[in-house]
Copies of this chain bind each other. A is one copy, B any other.
């Protein structure tokens, strides 16, 4: 399963906020064996959001959109999803009922548009806030407030699954340039994906579907490098 994450928010494009929502979602779905193929951040503009959703929803198995939902004028994500699917935005009775029952909101307490989702979408209730999320075909729409986003993802997490992936990390206390021969051999000899990430030590990450192959490759590498003190 291959997914794209789409983050809506001027505040991230301006560098005011680090995109921790995407990092959290990426880790969650990766842990479930799903491959994240793209993370894209777009401004709070209907056309930009709609264009990205249109491109991603045919290209990937699922798209998770976060941010830009709610009642203020800069919350245009639901309009954009509706535009991408060429459907109308409609006030959702299930959302109104849920808010009345769980939050004791009367309809007149809610700003116009709070409960509006694209026609044909399934509402996802917001257990940590007000504005509902939704799923339309393979597009999931969550709020940008982290607690609300996380609770909503948990509610649909079972939709995201893939083959198990096994991961091992080896911390090496040699310069990356000195490790090239061994990394190349690893790549040739074992059915694993190898990534090397230099920092204070070099992190070599070995991953693959075949646990045995990952373990053999890791053992092979550990015998042939200067291991850093484990952190």
Contacts and interface: CB of A to CB of B under 8 A. Distances in A.
Nearest to A3: B13
A221 to B, nearest CB: 14
Q: How large is the interface on A (under 10, 10 to 19, 20 to 34, 35 or more residues)?
A: 35 or more
Nearest to A30: B14
Task: Give how many copies assemble into the complex.
Answer: 2
A162 interface: no
A120 interface: no
A205 B19 contact: no
A33 to B, nearest CB: 12
A74 interface: yes
A73 B183 contact: yes
Interface of A: 10-20, 22-28, 30, 35-44, 48, 70-74, 110-111, 114, 130, 145, 176-177, 179-180, 183-184, 187, 193-199, 205
13 contacts: A11-B195, A13-B35, A14-B30, A15-B24, A15-B30, A40-B40, A71-B180, A72-B180, A72-B183, A72-B196, A73-B184, A111-B177, A145-B198
